[in-house]
Amino acid sequence: MIRNTLIAVWILAATAGCATKPVSQADARPVPSERIFALHHVSEGTTKLVVIRDKGMSGVACAMGFYFNGQLAVELRAGEYIELNVPAGDAIVGAAPVGGGLCGSTDAQRRETPMLVTPDGRTKVRISFAPGAGIHVAPTAF
């Protein structure tokens, strides 16, 4: 009994500090409509931007807000994706924990990066998290 408990504690401790892992759009779940706030309607002059949040244990309890040019567009949970409709060209994309409690939600936690959104609708963004390194927002081929 004690041995099984020690093994379980060791496994939890070993996986708690792990970084998240990329997930393909095909393996991710779509974000429910109640957590989509902007950029979801197709309009003239827009192209598709796919945002995928990694899966894994790190940060799994917190929703992550995705920002496009400073505007909160969507809240993603681990292993989810969204297809947004945005203007092609230079943009600033970012992510930050949203909600309250342990997750927090301050602008100081937001990580942003410049990105070129291509007009062909094939631009993808990955949101990942690693203990000690925090939130990372970057283009991806996944």
What is the average pLDDT score of the chain?
Answer: 83
Residue 111 has pLDDT above 60, yes or no: yes
Q: What distance, in Å, lies between the first and last C-alpha atoms of the chain?
A: 42
Largest CA distance in the chain: 64
User: Mean pLDDT, to the nearest integer, of 42-64?
Assistant: 86
pTM (two decimals): 0.82
Least confident of 60-64, 71-75, 79-83, 91-95: 60-64
Confidence (pLDDT) at 59: 60
- When pLDDT is averaged across residues 49-66 and rounded to a whole number, the result is 84
Q: How many CA atoms lie within 13 A of 28 on its CB side?
A: 26
More confident call, 34 vs 21:
34
For residue 133, how many other CB atoms are within 10 A of its CB? 11
